Structure 1
Amino acid sequence: MQQPTGFEGGRLLVVAFEGWNDAGEAATGAARLLAERLGLVEIAAVDPELYFDYQFTRPTIEAMADGSRTLKWPGAAILGPSGEPVEPDDDEVVTGPGADRLHVLLGAEPARTWKGFAAELIDAALTADIEGIVLLGAMLADAPHTRPLSVYASSENPEVRAALGVDRSSYEGPVGILSVIADQAERVGIPTVSLWASVPHYVHNAPSPKAVLALLGKVEELTGLSIPRGSLEVEASAWEASVDALAADDEEMAGYIAQLEQARDAADAPEASGEAIAQEFERYLRRRGDQPGGGPWRPRDGA
């Protein structure tokens, strides 16, 4: 099946934002792994003074290797090839069509002026001759941690849907910055596909390497890239074991997880159907619209 321009062999931009779109830090975790493996460098960045409320997304202070301390401000930047040869270990090389042209956009979700923020970044993508955009997100879901974590793929672009076999979302309601970026990109002719990983909501406070693995696997499937996992598989196994230990000390939590496992297994597939994932995605967004801070591990009313 022929891929749309940009999704196999073209100049691809992978996008991830911290915050609302990033349950378990899965989306940014996947994007950062790609940027590190490829040795990407900053080629364009927004002025944080225009888009961020520092009382909401505060700057942080970090210690440097030489012992000095520096402020790190929230922002967003596009990372691209440095032009210098990258010589990682053989088992850390990202290979496949377009690997040497891959770009990554990483940032924090802005507090204001979303239209201008998205327009500035899409202008930078056009300047970099980006031909396709993959938007990564992660949602808190009624997903058991003991089963494969599903990734829901969708696109508003009919050619992308036909070529990649992905859905068109029927969701209506509050959205995050990823939806604004996708809308601006499609308006200027850059095709987009959105990937959302399901993260068990009862462990919402911890990073989820298993969800990072799920997103990377879906990126590989859609782009033809081969992405080395490094220590991620070991970390995912350790994460799953830690949740097992947590559940072993909480009878109610263990019972709830067993119910999720039964519901998942009843679907008679290692992954939930596309329709089921889409429904979970819609429930998640509606829930986040009502309760932006998230919730405890127990099921919430109306979930």
Structure 2
Amino acid sequence: MTEVVWDEAPSLQSPLLVVAFEGWFDAGECATGAIQWIIDHYEARRVARIDPEEFFDFQENRPLVEIGEDGERRIRWPSIDAHVIENDFAHDLVVLSGLEPRMRWRTFCESVVEIARDTKCEMVVTLGAMVAGIPHSRPSAVQGSAASAELARRLGLDRPSYQGPTGIIGTLHDALDNADLPVISLRVGVPHYVAGPPNPKGTRALLAEFEKVTGVRTEYADLDASVLEWEQRVSDAVEQDPEIIGYVRQLEEEADRAEATDLPSGDDLAAEFQKFLREERDD
């Protein structure tokens, strides 16, 4: 029995599925913040949800009691919702986000694969954020990877090299690979000394990289003012502690010494992305 509950069966134009989950791989809520940014800025509508009953411990993730405007009492359960966005993008979007499931990960990933297949998504992009030894005062670097050697080569992405304990995103990538659905990962580093949410700088970096790779507009520049305010607040806090000041200066020096690499332009990446998808359709 499927765990996906459909509100409607959308008909979409060359859709991409974009995924992020709250939890271990969402430092500063950068990844889910990027999903919410896209939902808030475009006419998104929910088309499906994954029934939470099988995937959560409700003693750990308790439902909430709410009183509606009509005065009626309602229970709001943990949710993992799929929204669609149809616009003048190169691709329509299916965006899936919510709490990281706590159990039955393989079954959960099968549900995500079902959403990707039933909406005829041509590729899946997962977003994530990790704490890292980086300074808040330097650009937030986004790393991209793909298990597919061909996809990694054409988009200038890394091949995954990590070995060890994994989370739901790693499990999902394995399920998508086994289902022959192309998938790439975009993940941003978050300064570990200021890892709490919100982090508009990390969110902006993910949105910018997503736009660069796929050609889908995200209006990430609208976050510039929030990023400057965030940087100033963190800098003001850092200046109050001499030990942290010294540590941040060291991180800045390391970041400045990092070797620059020649990266393809956004237009080149987006063109190669579209070419790859056209060839996948022809196959």
TM-score interval (norm. to shorter): 0.7 to 0.9
> Does 2:57 match 1:53?
yes
Quick one: which of 122, 139, 143 aligns to 1:152?
143
Quick one: which of 155, 162, 176 aligns to 1:164?
155
Q: What TM-score, normalized to structure 2?
A: 0.82
In structure 2, the residue matched to 1:39 is: 43
Tell whether the 8 Å contact from 2:28 to 2:199 is kept in structure 1 after alignment: yes
Tell whether the 8 Å contact from 1:40 to 1:103 is kept in structure 2 after alignment: no
Query: Structure 2 stretches of 5 or more lacking a match?
Result: 1-12, 263-283
Alpha-carbon distance in structure 2 between the residues aligned to 1:180 and 1:144: 30
> Does 2:234 match 1:243?
yes
Alpha-carbon distance in structure 2 between the residues aligned to 1:207 and 1:106: 17
Alpha-carbon distance in structure 2 between the residues aligned to 1:141 and 1:257: 12
In structure 1, the residue matched to 2:90 is: 97
Quick one: which of 138, 147, 160 aligns to 2:129?
138
Higher relative contact order (CA 8 A, sep 6+): 1
Helix, strand or coil for the counterpart of 2:159? coil
Identity %: 39
Helix, strand or coil for the counterpart of 1:138? strand
- AA matched with 2:164: G
- The count of aligned residue pairs is 251
Q: Describe the shift of the 1:68–1:215 C-alpha distance in structure 2 as closer, same or farther (beyond 3 A).
A: farther
Query: Structure 1 stretches of 5 or more lacking a match?
Result: 1-8, 84-93, 272-303
Helix, strand or coil for the counterpart of 1:234? helix
Q: Describe the shift of the 1:60–1:254 C-alpha distance in structure 2 as closer, same or farther (beyond 3 A).
A: farther
Quick one: which of 247, 262, 265 aligns to 1:256?
247
Alignment of 1:113-128 (within 5 A): 113-128=104-119
Alpha-carbon distance in structure 2 between the residues aligned to 1:188 and 1:268: 37
Shift of 1:72: 2.5
Shift of 1:59: 2.5
| Deviation digits for residues 74-104 of structure 1 (CA, Å, limit 9, x no counterpart) | 13122114x7xxxxxxxxxx75411xx1110
| Deviation digits for residues 178-236 of structure 1 (CA, Å, limit 9, x no counterpart) | 11111111211210000110000101123100000100111011101222137421111
In structure 1, the residue matched to 2:187 is: 196
Q: Describe the shift of the 1:129–1:243 C-alpha distance in structure 2 as closer, same or farther (beyond 3 A).
A: same
- AA matched with 1:257: V
Helix, strand or coil for the counterpart of 1:121? helix
- AA matched with 1:251: P
> Does 2:188 match 1:184?
no
Alpha-carbon distance in structure 2 between the residues aligned to 1:67 and 1:263: 57
Q: What TM-score, normalized to structure 1?
A: 0.77
Shift of 1:68: 6.1
Alpha-carbon distance in structure 2 between the residues aligned to 1:57 and 1:14: 24
Which range moved further: 230-239 or 251-260?
230-239
Shift of 1:135: 0.2
Alpha-carbon distance in structure 1 between the residues aligned to 2:49 and 2:164: 29
Tell whether the 8 Å contact from 2:79 to 2:98 is kept in structure 1 after alignment: yes
Alpha-carbon distance in structure 1 between the residues aligned to 2:237 and 2:212: 33
Shift of 1:270: 9.4
Aligned-residue Cα RMSD (Å) equals: 2.2
